[in-house]
Structure 1
């Protein structure tokens, strides 16, 4: 079946089927909490929720522990344990931040957003360039695209949800301040967005297997499977690659849009993958507790290297 070129929210009566009742109740509760609770209260509850989740998400705790040991061997055991706890606190906060991104009106989102680097967006627009927003799976990722869209609506790359109600919620939420979404497998749709001069949100930092990947350093792991798609997209004519991340701070969020990557891509898959990994790693080091360490980032190994988990 052919992939749809773009996704926008579309409501149908089928979404009201009784089998989706629990989904609607959960989304309604999330809406109530993020709408009526002050932000600081949401973050406090989120941190508590994250600590509680460590007791029931044992397998994810082990994955995060292993990732931290692999990526940050320079930290001692106590430091990694503190980082692990802070990371799960951030996981709890991400529940509320997802609701904020999906349900908050623009004025409330702007009130907690501090933007840096918008001059790079202006320069690209003035030169008629498409923008590849090189991002990563921070736990604030839902806010990242929403906040960028407040300045200039763009196009998001995402993985469709198999649950129809959750799919409707995430598409409608992510399109509150952006144009539309494209399936992460729809390369033609991504290329089209860039050729049209749009900003395309793209996060290539997960382990997607050995297909279309190279093994290059990421943190202390010398051979981390890294997809080559970043360079493929960056090669689109008149496209600039702008690193773009959202960091949670004491009084809100900082949307950091960095200067275009220089001499990128150069046409060498390994060198280009290393360059994008270095940018992402530097961003993660700004707030390592806010990164999605729960994913098996280093699961794919080259021949002769043992499985890391």
Structure 2
């Protein structure tokens, strides 16, 4: 029997029913109920949740303020405050979009207005027998847009195991409903094998994971610890690297997804230069929809030697 790539479909065990798992099941149930809402109602709920996030004192505001001040020094105080407020409101939409991406029905997905550009770049790579790395960023709707693009192309993904056994079971099962395969972030061998066989892998390398494979390269002109996996995966597999951008359109118009032209002469022999090029692509994506980016992540928590912490 042919072994499927990636993490196997999770099995249900009796331990998932223990009383200590009941709060997680309650949370998963709430997420499932939210995902059943009509799209317009779901957006309405997301905006209400976003207003609540904005009004609730939290360390998230300080993190977002710090990141935005570092990355947009050209903005005055009023413009920065407006961007921070918009970003915190966007968290509410992020919560409901994750619910929809994980547990929404295929019928619900088909009803969401979606425009996809640049599929010809993917088809060209496939015609050449090459795997594809779809490289994107941590936008609030990344999970939903990964599922939306999967309606047109077969994709796999990289993920980090969840702390909760219940959510690991439920979310991995949901992802494997639409993804060809899901690879643990440490499963480099399986990922490379999948890409060598012509697979398409989506992943986002724009978080500070404090990994030994991270290098400091600019992100909005600020040294940012960035995993160099894009360079190494492309080098080991021969896959082409295609930027993948997505943004939420205003007034419930759905989502715009775009596959860019493959990065030329990638990978090179210079891991720093290649990783900086990836960051530059993501920075360009962020500038198109800055309020939809995950600014509440401590992107600059690791600092070069001799530089003070920023948070």
TM-score for both structures, normalised by structure 2: 0.92
Conserved? CA contact 1:243–1:279, under 8 Å = yes
CA distance in 2: counterparts of 1:184 and 1:285, whole angstroms: 27
Residue 180 of structure 1 pairs with residue 187 of structure 2: no
Conserved? CA contact 1:146–1:176, under 8 Å = no
Q: Hey, what does 2:244 align to over in structure 1?
A: 244
Q: 2:270 aligns with which of 238, 258, 268?
A: 268
Matches within 5 A, 1:78-227: 78-112=78-112, 113-209=114-210, 211-221=212-222, 223-227=223-227
Deviations 1:206-239 (A, max 9, x none): 1122622222211131x22222111111113441
Conserved? CA contact 1:210–1:300, under 8 Å = no
CA distance in 2: counterparts of 1:255 and 1:12, whole angstroms: 38
Kindly tell me the number of residue pairs found equivalent between the two proteins. Answer: 304
CA drift of 1:30 comes to 2.3
TM-score for both structures, normalised by structure 1: 0.93
Root mean square deviation of aligned Cα = 1.8
CA drift of 1:269 comes to 1.4
Instruction: Structure 2: state its 5+ residue gaps.
Output: none
CA drift of 1:241 comes to 0.6
Higher mean displacement: 275-284 or 145-154 = 145-154
CA distance in 1: counterparts of 2:46 and 2:246, whole angstroms: 18
Instruction: Structure 1: state its 5+ residue gaps.
Output: none
CA distance in 2: counterparts of 1:57 and 1:257, whole angstroms: 38
Runs of 4+ in structure 1 over 6 Å off: none
CA drift of 1:271 comes to 0.9
Q: Hey, what does 2:256 align to over in structure 1?
A: 254
Deviations 1:17-67 (A, max 9, x none): 2222222222222222321x3322222221221231244451111111111
C-alpha distance 286-67 of structure 1, shift in aligned 2 (>3 A): same
Conserved? CA contact 1:8–1:181, under 8 Å = no
SS at match of 1:236: helix
Matches within 5 A, 1:228-239: 228-239=228-239
